[in-house]
Amino acid sequence: MKKADLQTYRDRLLQLRARLQGDVKALADVALHEANGNAMPIHMAELGSENYEQEFTLSLMESDEGAIASIDDALARIEQGTYGKCAECDGVIPKTRLNAIPYASMCVGCAQKQEG
């Protein structure tokens, strides 16, 4: 892959990581505020709704943190010179896939095999 392409992907990954880190911080702030700032719900349905919202927020945070870890791995692959190569078959990951998922570590075929 050309150096200009690598720089473009590096910049895209850094922007995505910064955005996700902001999202995680915002979600954590909301979850902590809701947990500490709300009075005890009067009705059982309110308690169920609050529990669902808290679980949903924690799930989003976990997903974003996983994406951040994948982005960090992709940035390391750029530094190692292996970015754009499939971790499974060592084939080339198409630019269309990297444009859609810049932290992808596998080609479409290998990703499908792993999921299926």
Token digits of residue 8: 């473009």
Q: What is the pLDDT of residues 18-35, one digit of tens each?
A: 998 887 777 777 666 655
- Single out the residue of 96, 19, 20 nearest to residue 63, CA to CA: 20
Whether 36 shows a pLDDT value over 70: the answer reads no
- What are the boundaries of each domain within the chain? 3-82
Whether 37 shows a pLDDT value over 60: the answer reads no
In the chain, the amino acid numbered 16 is L
34 half-sphere exposure, CB direction, 13 A CA radius: 18
Q: What is the pLDDT of residues 40-70, one digit of tens each?
A: 556 666 666 677 777 777 788 888 889 999 9
Q: What is the pLDDT of residues 56-106, one digit of tens each?
A: 777 888 888 899 999 999 999 999 999 999 999 999 999 999 999 999 999
